[in-house]
Amino acid sequence: MSPVLRVRDLRVRFGGFEAVKGVSFDLAAGRALGVVGESGSGKSTLAMSLLRLTEGAETTGEIRAGETDVLAAPKAELRRLRGGRIAMVFQDPLSSLDPYLRVGDQIAEVYRAHTGATRRAARAKAVEVLDRVGIPDAARRARAYPHEFSGGMRQRALIAMALALRPRILIADEPTTALDVTVQAQLLDLLGDLRAATGMALLLVSHDVGVVAGNVDEVLVMRDGEAVEHGPVGTVLRAPRAGYTRELLAAVPRMDAPRTAAPTPGEPLLRVTDLRREFVLGPPLRRRAVPAVDGVTFDVRRGETLGIVGESGSGKSTLARLLVRLLEPTSGRVVFDGRDLAGLPERRLRPLRRDLQLVFQDPGASLNPRRTVGDSIAEPLRVHGEPDPGGAARALMERVGLDPRRARDYPHEFSGGQRQRIGIARALALRPRLLVCDEPVTSLDVSTQAQVLELLTDLRHEFDLTLVFVSHDLAVVRQVSDRVAVMRHGKIVELAGTDALFESPEHPYTRELLAAVPTLDPRIPHGRGGALEAPI
Amino acid sequence: MTLLDTELAPGAEPARKVPLRGRQTWRRLRADRPAMAGLAIVASMIVVALAAPLLCALEGQDPTTFHSGLLDSARGGVPHGAFGGMSGDHWLGVEPGTGRDVFARVVHGARVSLAVALGATVLELLVGIAIGLGAGLGGRRADAVLSRLIELSLAFPPFLLALALMAIVPQSVPRPLLLACVLTAVNWGSVARVTRNQAMALRGRDHVAAARLSGARPARIAVREILPGLAAPLLVLAALKVPANMISEAGLSFLGAGVRPPTPSWGQMLSTATTWFRTDPAYVIIPGALLFTTLLACTLLADGVRRAVDPRWNGRS
Amino acid sequence: MIWYLLRRLAAAAVVLLALSAIVYALFYLSPGDPAVLACGRGCDGERLALTREKLGLDDPVHLQYWHFLEGLVAGRDYSAGPDVDHCAAPCLGYSFQTDQPVTTMLLDRLPVSASLAAGAAALALPLGVSAGLLSALRRGRLTERVMTGVTLLGFATPVFLIGLVLLMVFCAYLQWLPFPAYVPLTESPARWAQNLVLPWVALALIQAAVYARITRAGALETLVEDHVRTFRAYGLRERQVIRRHALRGALIPLITLTALEVAQVMTAAVLTETMFGLPGIGKLTVESVNSVDLPVVVGVTVLAGTVVVVANTVADLLHAAADPRVKLA
């Protein structure tokens, strides 16, 4: 069977920088190809260049979509190709629809541009495809604006736009990266269904090997603009040939990886009782208190790592900040080592600060861009009047795997992973007893992520730390935690030992979450089988 | 939640994510040719202003002496000779009607123009930063009060208010100082707003939270974590304020509410010129060209500073 | 939406009230004697005493301000014995120098200022917006550089300088136009326009430069937005992508920003009217400042503040109507 998309020796160059360096592949009708790679691997540029959407880039090689030579196509033909033959779904569903126009009108507009249908027919078509992608009450929702849709629904709407034109190929560039794991599972299911029903080919671009694994037939691994490995998904995942693929797969946290036995739990170091935090939202006169953390109770035992998982909006980050008293609780108690932090004024809290530290999600934002990293690490020591803060900072840098001679460099001169190491060094400077980590590896590439997690595990023993590890990523939490709490809508729905929770979850929401996690096993298309009543 | 609600205004400035790094900013400014041309002109104007008495001594004239002998009384007081009476004694001619030396008046006018523009800018920054910091860092109640005050000050049309104020202020104070103070009184709001919003934005940043976690006191956090972050937007704003204040001074003097004779000012000379431009065009062209060149130079420099501080800036004012 | 509307209007009312109080305090409680300032230069002792009594300056401050507000709503009488000056609502004050209510004086001058502002806006908006768009869409080409340069000139030049140059060139040197002298529209539309051409052009050039800068910035911002890319990726013509999806995003912010420019426009209008000798509100302001006619100065300041507040409120409401996202707020 002749391929619907044939790419040969594709090169994309921005000025002196070659983002894609000679990639070739075929894509047959009804098949799916996954493109995986870390940030900067050129995978998104590759996707964009297939429709000649890379502005200011010089593209060479061959892209053939059916009979069309994409790189040589005149404007009119390119327009027919875009959307009509190859449609695209983008990463950020928040910004990829026009905020000023109704969702249905946007789909109708694109449909009319390609088919010349009447306004009325186009509108009917928009409702039809919105219904097809699982938007409930599509006729009414077609009249809504994008901001009235949730992230998952916006992404469905974009898929509907593609679907209306019956393209031969759908390119999905990180389509689920901005979404929660349960929503992700539903969207991936939708893409699979549509592929089976319409016979269109799918090019799925993702940084997440798990997302690609269960949803494609072939996989192409990219690194620095090159395709380092290309083959059937089962072969690549089970018996990778390229060294880089092996490293990448080894770094992915797995739900089935063996775990070391939990240490014997100590007595509670931190006791949280009925903790609540409300935020006052809305315009004046209509202000209302919205609880972000809605009455949680748990203990953190000396020496253990407590994982806290939840999807966006579950209140887990608010909880992290309440534990170290960056936020003041609305009510409830946070008893650390026998003292209630909840009501303490900042002045009385200050001496206790050295025992409670936080590692932030975004290492870029948590370091002052105007101060050298050595200065930032030494700051807590200086505040507490410790001797030789500079020397201690350099020693800490060395301990977290950084060259202490770089103490005089500024944060922007370091990579994301290095910056997170700096953040950890600063948090450890005062030798805290409790370290709260708020999504510490979320903004990092998977291989960097593995290294930072390893560092945290080492330091935990060396510094005799008690850890609270907050993350949306179940596999990561499973890897590092002794016990895990699952949060939803500001409440803890389940709290249990890690093995117990992952092997025999009791709460239906925990089960739903676990079912939605992508696995590396290509034989299990994830999300299927899990009873997901609620549409996105 | 009133008119000038920055959260809703789409033109509102988001917190600058690009930190100000002195050397890098200066390097980018150096590479910006229009900005450097502007800087050269502004610098030479400052030199001229500072050296005004010296330059007048060199010419041998002063800005206030009447030379009625050089005027053609038959033509209503237009200077004798071409180009407004330019000669070896009077390099740029003499003023129609009075015969005062134009060169001496424009170089002294540069003093007034620059002194008022720079003085008002400095005062606006001082007042605006103080109030903005009070609102941004002083706690919820201080913010509620000061923010309303800032909003109110921004609801006034500044030039009209300045014009009105010039009618009631005491006449005994030196006019240039008065002008700087009145311009400050009507213009501090924008500095305060930028300072407050930026301080608020910085306060929510993680590195400030990290400083709190390290046990630093509020004063230390303000000085070490927040103040440095204000430098970039305030530098940009200050650069824009200089030409704006210069235009205001010229405008007020043009309307007769600014600097009063015999103190010379470009705006005031242009105001006189409105009655003479038919017969003595040179008298329009000289102060006009100077004012225009200086304003253009200041604007070029201000745009350059903006580009240097934030390379992604695309012209939003 | 209705809540949003009510909230905006309530906020505007509060600002207006505070604004009037500040203006009142600023001018009637200033270190100078308000009676002297209201009476004007060359005022004798007897008239001064009369003015003081009429203004009620011996009353407590809050009562004075209350009378001022009362005058705004219901009109008021300035009386000293048998001598009564009536000032109908909305009374912004009474000019004892010209023996007229300030409101009447402002209304008399309004047509001139309105003619000037409307004509200039009609020229400036299309000119500025199209120049801004052109320079954004022709990025990196000669058009952009020329547009940016011209805009910068308009941005950096005081309006009275432009006016002066226009007068010199078109009236004195080329003699294509008469020196402007205001002719009411009702008298002769042709001569009305002929006399206003130069003021319009002068004011419009300044305004157009501002609009051009704002539009250019907005367009450059929206042209790189993700949703614009979406419609490009779905095969829409570039023209349609720009017209339907980029322009809207670029022009909606213009509503709010135009309102923010109202104060600047007023400044330019005052200077333009004085420059061209147009007997509008701006010229009245300058005259009252120079003759120290306090009630008129206060009246104009309150009026100007009101115009700014109203413009901002209207712009916010228009913006809310144009941008579906605002209704949530």
**Confidence class of residue B312 from pLDDT cuts 50, 70 and 90?**
low
Strand partners, A60: A11
Cβ atoms of A143 and A104 within 8 Å: the answer is yes
CB nearest A283 (choices: C236, C245, C329): C329
The CA distance from B5 to B8, in Å, is 6
Contact B165 C257 (CB under 8 A): no
> A49 pLDDT exceeds 90?
yes
Mean residue pLDDT of chain A comes to 89
Q: pLDDT (tens digit, 9 = 90+) per residue, B90-131?
A: 778 788 877 788 888 889 989 999 999 999 999 999 999 999
**Minimal Cα distance from A367: which residue of B?**
B207
Set of chain C residues whose Cβ sits within 8 Å of the Cβ of B165 = 26
Looking at residue C195, what is its pLDDT? 87
- Calculate what percentage of chain B has a pLDDT beyond 70: 91
Cβ atoms of C262 and B4 within 8 Å: the answer is no
Q: pLDDT (tens digit, 9 = 90+) per residue, A297-354?
A: 999 999 899 999 999 889 999 999 999 999 999 999 999 988 898 888 888 888 889 8
Q: Is A324 on the interface with B (CB under 8 A)?
A: yes
The residue that leads in pLDDT, A107 or A523, is A107
**Minimal Cα distance from B6: which residue of C?**
C256
Q: Is A258 on the interface with B (CB under 8 A)?
A: no
- Residue A151 C-alpha, separation from nearest chain C C-alpha, in angstroms: 15
**Minimal Cα distance from A359: which residue of B?**
B210
> A527 pLDDT exceeds 60?
no
Q: Name all chains with 3 or more CB-CB pairs below 8 Å to chain C.
A: A, B
Looking at residue A263, what is its pLDDT? 63
Lowest mean pLDDT among A505-514, B239-248, C26-35, C117-126: C26-35
Set of chain B residues whose Cβ sits within 8 Å of the Cβ of A370 = 19-21, 228-229
> A536 pLDDT exceeds 50?
no
Lowest mean pLDDT among B64-78, C108-122, C159-173: B64-78
Q: pLDDT (tens digit, 9 = 90+) per residue, A379-399?
A: 999 999 888 999 999 999 999
Looking at residue A267, what is its pLDDT? 87
* Angle (CA) A466 A472 A477, round 5°: 40
Interface of B with C in 155-174 (CB under 8 A): 155-161, 163-168, 170
Question: How far is C-alpha A368 from the geometric centre of its chain's CA atoms?
Answer: 25
Q: What integer is the mean pLDDT of B267-281? A: 84
Looking at residue C124, what is its pLDDT? 92
Q: Specify the CATH number of the domain A269-355+434-517.
A: 3.40.50.300
Q: Tokens in use for B177? A: 């100082």
Contact A358 B213 (CB under 8 A): yes
The CA distance from B197 to B11, in Å, is 14
In chain C, where does the domain assigned CATH 1.10.3720.10 lie? 102-290
Q: What integer is the mean pLDDT of A132-141? A: 91
Q: Do domains A1-85+167-250 and A269-355+434-517 have the same CATH topology?
A: yes
Set of chain C residues whose Cβ sits within 8 Å of the Cβ of A88 = 233-234
**Minimal Cα distance from A429: which residue of B?**
B214
Best probe of the B interface among A356, A370, A443, by most B CBs < 10 A, is: A370
Contact A147 C233 (CB under 8 A): no
Contact B10 C172 (CB under 8 A): no
The domain ranges of chain A are: 1-85+167-250, 97-166, 269-355+434-517, 361-431
Q: Is B179 on the interface with C (CB under 8 A)?
A: no
Q: pLDDT (tens digit, 9 = 90+) per residue, C143-160?
A: 888 888 888 888 888 888
Set of chain B residues whose Cβ sits within 8 Å of the Cβ of C7 = 1
* Angle (CA) C255 C261 C263, round 5°: 135
Q: What integer is the mean pLDDT of A277-292? A: 81
**Confidence class of residue B6 from pLDDT cuts 50, 70 and 90?**
very low
**Phi/psi at B288 (5° precision):** -60, -50
Q: What integer is the mean pLDDT of A198-227? A: 92
Looking at residue B274, what is its pLDDT? 83
Q: What integer is the mean pLDDT of C41-50? A: 76
- Calculate what percentage of chain C has a pLDDT beyond 70: 97
The CA distance from C311 to B154, in Å, is 13
Interface of B with C in 253-282 (CB under 8 A): 254-257, 267, 270-271, 273-274, 277-278, 281
Mean residue pLDDT of chain B comes to 83
**Minimal Cα distance from C249: which residue of B?**
B10
Looking at residue B218, what is its pLDDT? 87
Q: Is C160 on the interface with A (CB under 8 A)?
A: no
> B170 pLDDT exceeds 50?
yes
Looking at residue C56, what is its pLDDT? 78
> B317 pLDDT exceeds 50?
no
Mean residue pLDDT of chain C comes to 85
Question: How far is C-alpha C324 from the geometric centre of its chain's CA atoms?
Answer: 29
Contact B19 A354 (CB under 8 A): no
Cβ atoms of A107 and A161 within 8 Å: the answer is yes
Q: What integer is the mean pLDDT of C241-247? A: 88
Looking at residue C112, what is its pLDDT? 92
> B21 pLDDT exceeds 70?
no
- Calculate what percentage of chain C has a pLDDT beyond 90: 17
- Residue B66 C-alpha, separation from nearest chain C C-alpha, in angstroms: 25
Looking at residue A283, what is its pLDDT? 67
The CA distance from C28 to C20, in Å, is 12
The CA distance from A71 to A6, in Å, is 12
A17-27 and A5-14 beta bridge pairing: antiparallel
**Confidence class of residue A526 from pLDDT cuts 50, 70 and 90?**
very low
CB nearest C234 (choices: A82, A95, A285): A82
Contact C237 A113 (CB under 8 A): yes
Dihedral through CA A108, CA A111, CA A116, CA A122, nearest 10?
-40
Cβ atoms of C108 and C191 within 8 Å: the answer is no
- Residue A431 C-alpha, separation from nearest chain B C-alpha, in angstroms: 11
CATH topology of domain A1-85+167-250: Rossmann fold (3.40.50)
The CA distance from B248 to B258, in Å, is 9
Q: pLDDT (tens digit, 9 = 90+) per residue, A162-183?
A: 999 999 999 999 998 888 888 8
Looking at residue A205, what is its pLDDT? 94
Question: How far is C-alpha C205 from the geometric centre of its chain's CA atoms?
Answer: 16
CB nearest A380 (choices: B21, B207, B215): B215
Best probe of the C interface among A100, A171, A287, by most C CBs < 10 A, is: A100
Looking at residue C285, what is its pLDDT? 92
Looking at residue B11, what is its pLDDT? 32
Lowest mean pLDDT among A22-31, A269-278, B250-259: B250-259
Q: pLDDT (tens digit, 9 = 90+) per residue, B143-164?
A: 889 998 998 888 888 888 898 8
Set of chain C residues whose Cβ sits within 8 Å of the Cβ of A161 = 234
> A274 pLDDT exceeds 90?
yes
Domains in chain B: ranges and CATH: 3-309 (1.10.3720.10)
Best probe of the A interface among B205, B208, B213, B224, by most A CBs < 10 A, is: B213
Max CA pair span of chain C:
82
Cβ atoms of C19 and C92 within 8 Å: the answer is no
> B310 pLDDT exceeds 50?
yes
Q: Is C239 on the interface with A (CB under 8 A)?
A: no
Crossing angle of the two packed helices B175-203 and B227-254, in degrees rounded to 10: 150
How large is the C-alpha radius of gyration of chain A? 25
* Angle (CA) C64 C65 C70, round 5°: 100
- Residue B38 C-alpha, separation from nearest chain C C-alpha, in angstroms: 12
> A429 pLDDT exceeds 90?
yes
Set of chain C residues whose Cβ sits within 8 Å of the Cβ of A96 = 226-227, 229-230
Looking at residue B2, what is its pLDDT? 30
DSSP state of C328: G
Q: What integer is the mean pLDDT of A477-496? A: 94
CB nearest B315 (choices: C217, C263, C309): C217
- Residue A265 C-alpha, separation from nearest chain C C-alpha, in angstroms: 49
Q: Which CATH superfamily is domain C102-290 in?
A: MetI-like (1.10.3720.10)
Cβ atoms of A394 and A407 within 8 Å: the answer is yes
